[in-house]
Structures are given as structure tokens and as C-alpha cells.
Amino acid sequence: MVRKFIAQRRPTAGLEIRRPRKNQRQEVDVTYTIEEALRIFIQAKEAEGLRSRTIKDYRQHISYLSEFLLENHPDVIDDVNSLTTNHVREYINYLRNDRRPYKGAEHRKEIDRSGLAVNTINIRLRTLKTMCRFWYDEVMIETNPMIGVKPVKDDERKEVEGLADENIGKVFNALDDRQFAEWRDKVLMYLMLDTGLRPEEALTVRIEQFDFRSMFVLVPSMIAKNRKGREIPITREVGRMVRDLYEETKQYFGDPEQVFMNAYGEPFTAGAFRKRLNRMKKRLNLEKLHPNMFRHTFARKYLLNGGDIFTLQKILDHADIATTRKYVQMTNEDVKAQHNKYSPARRFLRR
């Protein structure tokens, strides 16, 4: 006779079930320099398929920490396991009080003041938190120095503001269509103002991404920040401008690599665009003018003109609608205009 055996549960009364504590000390057998630890981390993230720009940011952010440690705690450079929470907090205070904005940054002028913006500091801390968690999980460090380190708090701040109507007019009126560079800038600005494309998405767009019959531009997944392709409608006027610019560029340089090229037949870059806007800002006496402002202006105007926030979220490629809400900054004039238009009191006052 074949008997069926059923496994019985062992009694748990009186037995201690051990689970590792959140930050339990673990023994490290090998000593890694910060550079070696960074290389292992980068290899793992590349294997996960992270974008090259994200990898570049990881390298850049850890270089800031290494620079600080080399000057203040050089022993930590040779042994990442000796990095402590106190070192991290000292580094935070250095970023808040002593670090100069854009120091050592390519294509950006160093600002003559000390202390970085809170948002910038928190971005660097998020990178360090990701790295330290990886190093701890891989048993490269005994304790995670980022445990207990909280983001830096700040007073309520506005996101990037868009452009006021009068400033949009100033910008476009200042451009001379007879000059190739200014005509190209004008088309780029209109494209971003019409579609809400990110600066990098707009600058690197290729003519094959446009459907001039159905009037939309395709942002493929390999370009999109959230790795999801999307089709964004464009107006016929802007579509015509894009096609005219491409045909003109083609006459000069043959088949161009992308729609927006510089005067030497090379791809027009975000850094070059930012510099040109900065010069225009000074010439027109504007407080701010940089690439992302056209995307933010699109977002604000889209809602003010009657668009809904859920469609806007899809167009802007935001994973979380909370990001879309933060993205839209209404001016006092916008709020006043909307109030005058929709206040329920006006309906009864007109009787």
C-alpha cells in the first residue's frame, strides 16, 4: 500500500525567528576605493539598461563628493567602507553653505555666490542614497551611511515658470528670419511652445518623426525620458515651419542628421541653445529665458485655453499627475483672468 505523507508544521512556540535588522552590521572582506565602488555600481546599472545620461549624472554627482572628501577626509577616498553618516551630513552643509553653483561644470559660468539650491542638493543626495544602498546590499560596506539622512527642507518654491505673453512677443519679434540661426531658433521655440516637448526631445528630433498628413510628431521610446513612446499633435502652421526649415537645411548640408543643425552642419545642442537664449535675455532685458521655459509655457497655456490636465499629463510624458500639477505655474494675472471668467458671483450680478 502506498501511503501519502503530509508534511507537518513544526511548532513555533518557544522558537526565536531571526530576521536581519534594517541596518545590521555585515562584515566586509575586501576594501574598495570610491572609484572602484563607483565602477562596480556603474557596471551593474549599465547591465540594467539605464540611459547613458543617467550614468553620466551618477559619475558627475560622485565626483562632487570625492572632491569634498579629498580635501577634508582623504582616507575615505581609499576605503568607501569608512564613509559615515557624519561625513554625509558634513558634505550636505558644505553644499548648502560653501559650494559655488556650476563650479567646474562644462558650458556653464560659475556663479559668484556660495551655496547650492535645495533641489540641487536633494538630487545629489538621492544619487548617493541609491549608491550606498547598492554598496550595502553587495556587502561592499558594513553599514549604510545614508540611513537616517533626510532630504534638505526648503521654503515653498515655485517650479520653473513659463513666459508671460508680452515676453513671448518680445522674443519672437527680436528674431530675424533672414538669418539662418535665428530662423532655426524661431522654429525650435514654436515647436516646443506647440507640443511641450522636452528640450532634448525637440533638439534631436528627426524629420522621420513627423507625420505631416496627420499632423503629429512621434517621440520614440528610446528617446522619451519614461521609455514610453508617444504621439503629440502639432498645428499645421508649426508643421509647415518645420518642413520649410528642413528643406532649407537640406540645401545647405545635404541630408541633415536631424531637423535642428548649427551653421556648420553639425547637430544643434542644448548647450548652444541655452547660450543663445542667455544672450537674448540680456539683449531684451528679461529676468529669465532658458529652454525649459517654453515647455512650461505650453503646459500653463494649455490649461488656461481649456485643455484638461489628464491629456496634458500624457502629452508631457509625466508618470505621476502630481508632477503635472507642480509643473503648471499660474501667474497672478492668470488667476485673476480665470477668476473673472468663471466666478459664480458674476452670473447673479448681471441679472
- pLDDT for the residue numbered 103: 52
Phi then psi dihedrals of residue 230, to 5 deg: -150, 150
Residues in Cβ contact with 182 at an 8 Å cutoff, skipping those fewer than 6 apart: 175, 176
Q: What pLDDT score does 83 carry?
A: 95
Model pLDDT, residue 346: 64
Beta strands in the chain (DSSP E): 210-211, 216-219, 230-233
What's the predicted TM-score (pTM) here? Answer: 0.68
DSSP assignment, residue 105?
-
Round to whole Å and give the CA distance between 163 and 169. 10
Residues 97-131 have pLDDT tens digits of 887 665 555 544 445 557 888 888 999 999 999 99
Average pLDDT over residues 5-10: 41
CA distance 30 to 79: 10
Confidence (pLDDT) at 28:
76
Inter-axis angle of helices 118-137 and 52-72, nearest 10: 90
Query: Which cell is 272 given?
Result: 548652444
| Per-residue pLDDT reduced to its tens digit, 301-341 | 998 888 888 999 999 888 888 888 877 766 677 777 777 77
The rounded distance, in Å, linking the Cα atoms of 263 and 266 is 7
Q: pLDDT tens digits, residue range 67-91?
A: 999 999 999 999 999 999 999 999 9
Sorted by sequence, the CB contacts under 8 Å of residue 298 that are 6+ apart come out as: 162, 192, 193, 194, 195, 196
Beta carbons of 307 and 315 less than 8 angstroms apart? no
pLDDT digits (tens, 9 = 90+) for 221-230: 887 777 788 9
Over 60: is that where the pLDDT of 17 sits? no
Residue 26: the pLDDT is 65
What digits encode the pLDDT tens for the residues 31-57? Answer: 999 999 999 999 999 999 888 888 988
Cell 498645428 locates to 235
Locate 319 and state its grid cell: 508618470
**Residue 4: band (very low, low, confident or very high) from pLDDT cuts 50, 70, 90:** very low
* pLDDT at site 171: 96
Between 18 and 149, the higher pLDDT residue: 149
* pLDDT of 13 strictly over 60: no
- Model confidence at 23: pLDDT above 90: no
Percent of the chain with pLDDT over 90: 55
Query: Can you tell me the distance from the alpha carbon of 246 to that of 256, in angstroms, rounded to the nearest whole number?
Result: 8
Domains of the chain from N-terminus onward: 34-137 (1.10.150), 165-334 (1.10.443.10)
CB 205 within 8 A of CB 192: no
Nearest to 125 by CA among 82, 80, 73, 87: 87
Read out DSSP for 38-105? HHHHHHHHHHTT--HHHHHHHHHHHHHHHHHHHHH-HHHHT-GGG--HHHHHHHHHHHHHTPPTTTT-
Is the Cβ–Cβ distance between 91 and 65 less than 8 Å? yes
Quick check: helix, strand or coil at residue 233?
Answer: strand
User: So what's the pLDDT on residue 110?
Assistant: 46
Beta bridge partners of 217: 210, 232
Query: Residue 22 — very low, low, confident or very high, per pLDDT cuts 50/70/90?
Result: low
Write out the DSSP string of 256-287.
-SSS-B-TTSSB--HHHHHHHHHHHHHHHT-S
Q: At what angle do helices 292-304 and 332-342 cross, to 10 degrees?
A: 10
- Lowest mean pLDDT, pick from 153-157, 259-263, 290-294, 321-325: 153-157
Instruction: Express each pLDDT in 145-198 by its tens digit.
Output: 999 899 998 765 555 678 988 999 999 999 999 999 999 999 999 999 999 999
**Mean pLDDT on 243-257:** 92
The pLDDT assigned to 225 comes to: 74
In this prediction, residue 337 carries a pLDDT of: 72
What pLDDT was estimated at residue 19?
39
Is the pLDDT at 205 greater than 80? The verdict is yes
pLDDT at 5: 38
Amino acid (1-letter code) at residue 140: M
